[in-house]
Chains A and B, each alone.
Chain A
Amino acid sequence: MAKYYVTVANIMTQATTVFAQVQTLPDGGTSSSVKVPPGMTKISVLGVALSHNDISVIDTGNNFTVQLSGTGLVDGIQEFLVGTLACQEVGTSVGASLSAEKANYRDVDVKLKPGEVVISAAYDGTDPGSPLVVVTLGFE
């Protein structure tokens, strides 16, 4: 069970299948990488929330991947499928929707050594607008 939690986010303005760094702190600051906390030997929890933070582009469906890289990873780059967003419209109607999504927390086992962990994210499919990805890493 993780003892130490770090959260960063990114509004994903990049094109499809392009990784961009997830580096905005919840207080608006920037953390281009996460220094492995002293005494921590693995990332044991990955928490992710996805959201459209504006108008969802209709008839798009995207899967999202979080990538961990950097000098702090014993076994090199690791990639995780973290969720899907979709928006569909039939005909020329204009509809509305209200959707709630709890963050998804999963157990992982990523071995660490002293160094840095860089968090990036990418999506497949057609550009859906500017989706928001928020990532929490739990260390132990």
Chain B
Amino acid sequence: MSLYYTRHDSMTQATTTFSPIETAADGSTAGPIAIPPGVKTIKSISAGFAVNGAHTVNTGPVYVLRLTGTGALPDGNQDLVLGSIHHDNGGGTVTDTDTVNMAPLKIPVNISVNAGADLALQAAYYGTDAGSPQIAIEIEFE
């Protein structure tokens, strides 16, 4: 049987800087995920990301998830690339409206965890600040 948890957050930090992903779907500050009793591994990670505001033109940062937490991960921190969104206007002054829809990225993994410890999620991005991206993560434990 699998167990599923989600967190999301707004990324207001500078490039190549990690910040916590610790908000629950109901808006509460849930913090790290308490790894449930009996759980041994993370089976999959799902992720979504989009700039929630004006996406700065001619930027295309690439997002990265870090798994961390004291005592949570026997093999230490884990960093995984998630993907990117690029807004290009060719350097012109064009006025435009663009939309993009994306299903979550799902990454099958086999990352060992220690039940009872707190798993902290953090996010960073490479490249230029695009605004304030919203990032959402789902963790599947087994």
Contact = CB atoms under 8 A, between A and B. Distances in A.
Interface of A: 1-7, 9, 11, 24-28, 37, 47-56, 58, 87, 89, 94-103, 105, 132, 134-136, 138, 140
Contact of A135 (B75, B81, B89, B102): B81
A94 B87 contact: no
Given A2-B109, A26-B66, A96-B98, 10 more contacts: A3-B112, A5-B109, A27-B17, A28-B16, A51-B86, A95-B89, A96-B96, A98-B98, A99-B100, A136-B80
Interface stretch (B4-12, B22-30, B51-59): B51-59
A52 B88 contact: yes
A100 B18 contact: no
Interface residues of B, number: 50
Interface of B: 15-18, 50, 55, 57-62, 64, 66, 75-76, 78-94, 96, 98-102, 105, 107-112, 124, 126-128
A51 B83 CA distance: 8
B16 A24 contact: yes
B90 A58 contact: yes
A53 B127 contact: yes
Contact of B64 (A7, A97, A99, A100): A7
A21 to B, nearest CB: 15
Contacts of B15: 28
Contacts of B55: 98
Nearest to B93: A94
Contacts of B57: 96
Contact of A96 (B82, B89, B102): B89
A53 B80 contact: no
Contact of A100 (B81, B84, B88): B84
Given A26-B18, A51-B60, A103 B75 contact: no
A52 B62 CA distance: 9
B127 A11 contact: yes
